[in-house]
Amino acid sequence: MAAYDAIVIGSGQGGNPLAYKLADRGWRVALIERDQLGGTCVNNGCTPTKTMVASARIAHYARNAMRWGVRCGPVEVDLAAVVARKQQIVARWRTGHERNIARRSNLTVIYGHARFTAPHRLRVAEQELESDRIFIDTGARPALPPLAGLADVAYLTNQTIMELTTLPEHLIVLGGGYVGLEFGQLFRRFGSRVTVLQNGPEILPHEDPDVSLELRLALEGEGIEFRLQAKAESVFVDHGAIGLRLSDGQTVYGSHLLVATGRRPNTDDLGLELAGIQCDRRGFIQVNGRLETSVAGVWALGDVKGGPAFTHISYNDYQIIHGNLIEGKKLSIEGRVVPYAVFTDPELGRVGMTETQARRDGRKLKIGKIAMSAVARAIERDETAGLMKLVVDATNDRVLGAAIVGVEGGELVHIIETLMLLDAPYTALKGAVYIHPTLAEGFWSLMETVAAA
């Protein structure tokens, strides 16, 4: 039985920095990884997808260059070269983790699948490990829908679609969430025909309807076809084409199928029941505000615990755990301000509550909203799709949330996040001096529109 001061299961964006910091304190730390260092973000999430999104944006600019008065020749996308560039950047980040581990002699990487055998004991292959402090950062994987015939079709996931080196003729995307929209636009810009099937009245069902609509209209402008209220009942192959039969009796045919219908936690094979670690009905590990599980001395961080599934949340989970455990702080995940972005073009940058959520809570609201076509810099760039929206508590003028669908929306929303972190009223930005012309200058006009609603 090998004893450690700490065991970290999973080398994701929460587990890695936690393992490094604990090892730097002189602790003997085991980092267990069953696949590749870096977790979802580095290997099949943020890093590779945003690398490919960058290539798609260049293709889009080149293909539409005359819009800005620039002549280009025919545009062709070398998908194999795009994938090779993506793999190089992924390898660079993964190698960085290998170097970080090599510098710490008291940090041991154990490759293999971990299973609990008791509350503070694990088995990895033939090794038995124990520690008073165990941290679970095993992430999540694609959740497959109960769709008849799916097992018999060569479907794609967010991971396998990035290994394609031949462009799909017609990509069907099952799911109108973040993953489906990013890949849908990416492959449309590469040259594929794209159809998105969404089982609901609008894409991005967790956003306000006006925000979702604005993004959908922008994507439709690039030629993406959306089928809303489209419930797929079965999938099959017919003469080499993939067919999805819908509940309304219609059938959609394509050359490739991307399944983007959500994520499920990697908890079903960890032996959590032997440790007494409780999960919710969907398999996500239940934690308190300090991220500790139902077993004292066992924490969960990142996607495996549910909640916002973003890399920056995983990293903040690490900060909370380290701050409480090592620095004597009293940090909690409860009430934290969470920004995020959908990396389509235009981007959707979001923070805090939606208008729908705020009204459901019975709050008195002020709403501000302007079109990106009213922002000078967006006009000059000829990238005017989208809107800025602000949700304000009418009783104290504090910002409850914001959504920015527009060029650099993911960057702009951080300005609103800062206002929320400072607990300052929205009027603090109303009289601010903005550089002209910048996209942030649009906040001046946005603040002027805030009114009771």
State yes or no: pLDDT of 163 exceeds 90. Answer: yes
Domain boundary among 246, 261, 276: 261
Give burial (CB, 10 Å; 0-12/13-18/19+) of 213: middle
- Sorted by sequence, the CB contacts under 8 Å of residue 263 that are 6+ apart come out as 140, 141, 142, 143, 303, 309
**pLDDT at residue 249, as a whole number:** 95
> Could you read off the pLDDT of 174-197 as tens digits, one per residue?
999 999 999 999 999 999 999 999
d(C-alpha 143, C-alpha 157), whole Å = 9
**pLDDT at residue 315, as a whole number:** 98
Same domain, residue pair 291 and 272: yes
Same domain, residue pair 162 and 68: no
State yes or no: pLDDT of 79 exceeds 90. Answer: yes
Counted residue by residue, the chain has a size of: 453
> CATH no. for residue 438?
3.30.390.30
Same domain, residue pair 97 and 165: no
> Residue 301 sits in which domain range?
2-141+264-325
Same domain, residue pair 128 and 52: yes
> CATH no. for residue 188?
3.50.50.60
Domain boundary among 277, 292, 325: 325
Same domain, residue pair 123 and 40: yes
Contact 319, 311 (CB under 8 A): no
Q: Which helix (H) or strand (E) holds 452?
A: strand 451-452
In the chain, % of residues over pLDDT 90: 99
**Longest C-alpha distance within the chain, in Å?**
70
Same domain, residue pair 275 and 128: yes
The reply to whether 68 falls in a domain is: yes
Q: Which residue has tokens 């969404």? A: 198
Give burial (CB, 10 Å; 0-12/13-18/19+) of 260: buried
Contact 50, 179 (CB under 8 A): no
The reply to whether 330 falls in a domain is: no
Catalytic residue among 60, 239, 414, 436: 436
The reply to whether 333 falls in a domain is: no
CB atoms within 10 A of CB 119: 18
> Could you read off the pLDDT of 310-346 as tens digits, one per residue?
999 999 999 999 999 999 999 999 999 999 999 999 9
Same domain, residue pair 157 and 137: no
Q: What's the whole-number mean pLDDT along residues 19-36?
A: 97
Give the gyration radius of the chain's Cα atoms: 24
The answer to whether 120 is a known catalytic residue is no
Domain boundary among 244, 261, 278: 261
**Could you give the 3-state DSSP secondary structure of residue 355?**
helix
Contact 406, 381 (CB under 8 A): no
Contact 371, 381 (CB under 8 A): no
Same domain, residue pair 120 and 104: yes
**pLDDT at residue 431, as a whole number:** 85
- Count CA atoms closer than 13 A to 211's CA, side-chain side: 29
Same domain, residue pair 133 and 60: yes
Q: How many domains does the chain have?
A: 3
State yes or no: pLDDT of 379 exceeds 90. Answer: yes
**pLDDT at residue 200, as a whole number:** 95
**pLDDT at residue 371, as a whole number:** 98
Q: What's the whole-number mean pLDDT along residues 433-453?
A: 97
d(C-alpha 265, C-alpha 66), whole Å = 46
State yes or no: pLDDT of 414 exceeds 90. Answer: yes
Same domain, residue pair 154 and 257: yes
Q: What's the whole-number mean pLDDT along residues 367-377?
A: 98
Tokens of 351: 């923070």
State yes or no: pLDDT of 1 exceeds 90. Answer: no
DSSP-assigned letter for residue 270: S
Same domain, residue pair 394 and 445: yes
Same domain, residue pair 257 and 283: no
